[in-house]
């Protein structure tokens, strides 16, 4: 195929040899399957975001560290230079998160470097060597759904122990490899200790996964892993090997329990509606 402009510099520098095919394209990036020597990898080319999307990302960026006082001031003023710096920081965030999470044992694609604004990383494949499907695209049995849920909850715990929250986790940001689920797409990763919306985003992540996998194993819908792990995290008691139960009893005197339950159920229903919409769209396209 014709080399996309964003990848020509990598070919010129010998980082990759050639582009094999496009893998996917979204609002924030386009991903291509590329060859580098004897290895087949993927290259994520980040798109420059419009002002509207830039504003929508403010809640995710709260608590992120910025290199340099000048950059921090410019970002705070939302000047042209500041927006450019924040775009750069937004793209760098995923790269840094992948290296950190991979080192912590989280099931994420292995990164191979960041060149000219392009992230080169492992291509996650299925047992036959084809690009792995998303979790939201596969049929599961009840036992497999429970096992995937267990594995994914553990990944969320490991991320939280690193001080990070995915921020947009769902069955469509998880690939199913031969050894189980792999979590992808981290440009919106949230600082667990520095973002006021961290708890809300963590609960949304866990509940999105629970809602999707609960289609195959309905008993999962009665679990409270997000609330349990956040309470342990706040208390400084969450460890990578902490065994969770999925049970949680909130302090009814300190919180509006009905509102909490409604918010969680809303998140689960929203995930199901989004998934049904994707399935309907796929059927219309056939």
- Give the residue among 38, 32, 39, 41 at the shortest CA–CA distance from 8: 32
* Residue among 155, 55, 46, 128 nearest 94 (CA): 46
Q: Are 85 and 74 in contact (CB under 8 A)?
A: yes
Given 126, 179, 185, 266, the catalytic residue: 185
Using DSSP bridges, classify how beta strands 29-36 and 111-115 pair: parallel, antiparallel or unpaired. Answer: unpaired
In the set 168, 179, 222, 258, the catalytic residue is 168
In the numeric block, which tokens belong to residue 92? 């760098």
Residues 6+ apart with CB under 8 A from 188: 57, 60, 166, 167, 168
Q: Assess contact for 72 and 66: CB atoms under 8 A.
A: yes
**Nearest residue to 135 (alpha-carbon basis) of 283, 275, 270:** 275
Tell me, yes or no, if 284 is annotated catalytic. Answer: no
Report whether 124 contacts 116 (CB < 8 A): no
Paired strand residues for 183:
174
**Cα atoms in the 13 Å half-sphere on the side-chain side of 173:** 22
**12 catalytic per annotation:** no
- Residues serving a catalytic function are 168, 185
């Amino acid at each position: 195929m014709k080399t996309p402009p964003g990848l020509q510099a990598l070919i010129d520098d010998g980082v990759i040899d050639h582009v094999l095919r496009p893998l996917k394209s979204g609002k924030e990036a386009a991903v291509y399957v590329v060859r580098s020597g004897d290895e087949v990898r993927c290259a994520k080319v980040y798109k420059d975001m419009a002002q509207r999307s830039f504003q929508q990302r403010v809640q995710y960026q709260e608590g992120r560290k910025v290199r340099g006082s000048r950059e921090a001031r410019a970002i705070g003023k939302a000047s042209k230079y500041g927006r450019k710096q924040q775009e750069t920081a937004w793209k760098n965030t995923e790269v840094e998160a992948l290296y950190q999470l991979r080192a912590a044992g989280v099931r994420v694609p292995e990164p191979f470097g960041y060149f000219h604004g392009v992230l080169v990383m492992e291509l996650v494949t299925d047992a036959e060597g084809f690009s792995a499907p998303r979790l939201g695209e596969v049929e599961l049995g009840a036992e497999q759904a429970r096992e995937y849920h267990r594995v994914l909850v553990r990944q969320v715990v490991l991320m939280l122990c690193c001080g990070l929250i995915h921020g947009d986790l769902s069955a469509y940001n998880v690939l199913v490899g031969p050894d189980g689920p792999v979590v992808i797409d981290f440009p919106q990763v949230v600082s667990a200790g520095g973002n006021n919306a961290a708890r809300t985003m963590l609960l949304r992540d866990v509940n999105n996964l629970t809602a999707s996998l609960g289609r195959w194993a309905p008993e999962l819908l009665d679990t409270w892993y997000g609330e349990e792990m956040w309470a342990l995290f706040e208390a400084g008691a969450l460890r990578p090997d902490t065994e969770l139960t999925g049970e949680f009893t909130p302090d009814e005197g300190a919180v509006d329990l009905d509102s909490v339950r409604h918010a969680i159920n809303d998140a689960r229903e929203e995930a199901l509606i989004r998934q049904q919409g994707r399935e309907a769209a796929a059927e219309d396209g056939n």
